[in-house]
Amino acid sequence: MAEFIREHSTRVKDECAIYIVRIYAEERTDGTWEGWLEFHPTDKRKPVLRTGEETSQPSRVTLEYWAFGLEPIYLEGALARAEGRLVSGILKAIS
């Protein structure tokens, strides 16, 4: 079951919305933890966006340490990944 780790103080935005960043994690069967980010729009009519796995850590404590070290530039990149912008940008460059 997913556990809320923290809400980041930095808000991120794209062309359409401002997002509150929340970090969640889940313990795996082997005892390690995986973490991801969720972007909750301040405009409740817009959908919540979620990244895939952003980190794998040996314990909840180390995952919390990772979460508290996230910088705004990382959050911007994670929003782009959650929106799929990086994938389509790479595909366009290859085509």
Digits of tens for pLDDT over the chain (95 positions)? 999 999 999 999 998 999 999 999 999 999 999 999 999 999 999 999 999 999 999 999 999 999 999 999 999 999 999 998 754 444 444 44
Total domains present in the chain: 1
**Pairing verdict, β 18-27 and 55-57:** unpaired
Q: What residue numbers bound the domain in which 46 lies?
A: 3-94
By residue count, the chain amounts to 95
Contacts of residue 84, defined as CB under 8 A and 6 or more positions apart, other chains included, come to none
